[in-house]
Every structure is written in structure tokens, then in C-alpha cells.
Amino acid sequence: MDNDILMRVEDLDVRYKTRIGYVSACDGINLDIYKGEVLGLVGESGSGKSTLGKALMRLHPRSTVQTGHLWFDGDDLMAYSPRQMRRIRGERISMIFQDPMTSLNPIQRIADHITETIKTHRPQTSDEAARARAAELLDVLGITPRRLDEYPHQMSGGMRQRIMISLALSLNADLIIADEATTSLDVIVEAQFMSLLKDLCREFNLTILLITHNIGLVAQLSDRVAVMYGGRLAEVGDVGTLFKDPKHPYTQGLLGSVPSIKLHDKDELYRMEGSPPDLIAPPSGCRFHPRCPHAMQVCVEQQPPLAEVEPGNPAACWLHHPIPEGHSAEPLPDRQEAPA
């Protein structure tokens, strides 16, 4: 594996067992996460983003079927026992969850959250050293160490989110997964969070998987972007290239749906017709073809490969790959106009 790659995901499948069948939330995911980068992961609700993030830490319950490979520091985490994974979580891979109020224990003081994390993984650490580390982290994150003995409900939403960041940083984790970390924050606090995350990335050389609906957040923080749709990767690329010249029609629609100050009074915001696919019985071929303005007959019949269109920019779309023999490039009828 390339020395610059921190984690390589190979052929990852995640299926949830339900009473009416299996939900294929991640289907054949192949993705590299590089050391020191911020990788943005975007897509509509239900596209599989959070499922992928939890799968990297193997946090799904036993009723969930997870197959494939998670290569991390030369080892396949899929071969690890539950006990071995407990040593990886927190110390090597950490997660910032969506809602800090429900992620933090309401009857534990802030100091207890951080010191417990440290001493669980490094039991030789003294109580005084663990508390000193907790105070240091709070100070770096802009919270006075005097508040270590307060409870989560005594903190604002922004402060609670910073506490979650301090937990992720407490053991200098190699990979931090931020799962919708700004969902519960207002616009002002979100801007402060973005500024803080930028500073932390520079100071600690963090590797972050940034899972979010916020395209603006991805544009400002990410080095690369991965776009998910219907449990599959639609496109991956450098943030500047992908935002300037998206290849996949879904990526084009996603970016076209973002409000812009450049819109004139008479301009209408583009919207994609239809809804995300039912992952219990997903569409054949390309999962985006029922909503795609450029869909061809081959899109219905054959799944497109996630292959490079340009160096470092793979996209899963037949518009950019040779049509397999025996399949037709005839456009499907009655398609909506694509975004400009």
C-alpha cells in the first residue's frame, strides 16, 4: 500500500437486516484516505455516508452484515476481534458524532469524559497527568480549564461540540471521522467551528473524514471530495477540480441545487426530480438513472465502473467510459433539463 495512504477501503459492503429484507447501505465501496488530508463525503440523506463512517470503525451491530477490507497501517481491520477493535477506536481512529448533547454522558463531568478516554487506552497514565491533558485540550479549543468540573448541560452547543473534538484529539488519533459535526450548530457557531477546525488541521496535521450535507463547509475545509449516491460512490476528486467541472450528473445536480448569491431574481434554483432509491430493492444498473437527465439504455442495464475520467478524478458514469459491447447508448425519453 502507498505510504501516503492512511486507510484503504476495498469492496466494502454494508447491509442492514430488516423485517422486509436487507438494506444495501454501502455497495462495493473503494476509497483511499491519505495522510494529512481532509476528505469531504457528501450526498443526500440515505446515501450511505454515516454508514460508511461507522463501518470504518466497525461500529455497526452484529445484525449488520459487513464484508470487504479496511486496510489501516498495514492490517485489515475486518480481521480484528472485537477486543482488538476496542484498542483501535479512540486511540487510532476517533469519531465526532452528530449531536454532542446525546453523545456526552449527562451525569459525567467534562473532565471525566476526557480522563476516562485517556486512562482506558493508557492505564499507566496518572489521574493528575490525564486531568492536565484535559485542561490543555480545553485551553487549545478556547474553553477555560475552570469548566472541567461542569456538566454537558451547562455548556452551549458550540462548547459541547468542542468537547467532542477534545475527545477525538485526546490520544492524537491518526484518523478523525466527523459525522455531521455542524448539524446542531447555528450559523455563527458553525463559522467559529470551521475556523477552529482549519487551525487544528494546520497545528496537528490531522487526517479527517468530513461527513456533511454542507457543501460550503466542504468547499472551505476539504482537500478532496467523495460523492455518494444510493450506497455507492458516484465521483471522487480534488475539491477545486470537482467543484469547477463535476463529471457525474448527480454531482452536477447536487452543486446546482446549492443557493448562490449569483442567482438573479428571475433565475430558479435547480432541483433534481424524484427521490433517492429504495435500498431494499435498488434500481438496476446505475442507481441514479431514474433521475438522471442524461440517462441512456446502458445505464438501466449495466452498473458503470468507478474509473478515472481525468487523473485523480474517478467517476461512475457511462458518459465518460466506453459503452460495453451489446449495450445501447440510446437516450432514455422524457428527461428533465440538466443544470447549466
Give the three-class secondary structure for 241. helix
Q: What is the distance between the alpha carbons of residues 189 and 201, in angstroms, rounded to a whole number?
A: 18
pTM recorded for the entire structure: 0.90
Candidate from 120-134, 152-166, 227-241, 316-330 with smallest mean pLDDT: 152-166
- Cβ atoms of 175 and 207 closer than 8 Å: yes
The CA distance from 96 to 103, in Å, is 9
pLDDT tens for 57-68 read 999 888 799 999
Taking only the tens place, the pLDDT of each residue in 211-254 is: 998 888 898 889 999 999 999 999 999 999 999 999 999 999 99
Identify the pLDDT of residue 1: 58
Residue 266: pLDDT above 60?
Answer: no
Average pLDDT for the chain: 88
Q: Which amino acid is at 234?
A: A
Cβ burial, residue 308 (10 Å; 0-12/13-18/19+) = middle
Per-residue pLDDT at 62: 80
What pLDDT sits at residue 336? 52
The one-character DSSP state at 332 is: P
DSSP state of 81: -
Q: Is the pLDDT of residue 191 over 90?
A: no
CA distance linking residue 293 with residue 304, whole number of Å: 16
Residues 6+ apart with CB under 8 A from 15: 22, 23, 24, 25, 64, 65, 66
pLDDT of 112 over the 50 cut: yes
Q: Are strands 93-96 and 175-179 parallel, antiparallel or unpaired?
A: parallel
Domains for the chain: give ranges and CATH numbers.
5-229 (3.40.50.300)
Half-sphere exposure of 77 (CA within 13 A, CB side): 24
58's grid cell:
466497525
Whole-number Å distance between alpha carbons of 237 and 312? 6
Phi, then psi, of 269 in degrees rounded to 5 = -70, 130
Distance between CA 214 and CA 191 in Å, rounded? Answer: 12
Is residue 175 classed as helix, strand or coil in its secondary structure? strand
Q: Using CA atoms, how far apart are residues 21 and 50, in angstroms rounded to an integer?
A: 20
CA–CA distance from 243 to each of 135, 190, 238, 246, 251 (Å)? Answer: 40, 22, 8, 6, 9
- Where is pLDDT greater, at 176 or 203? 176
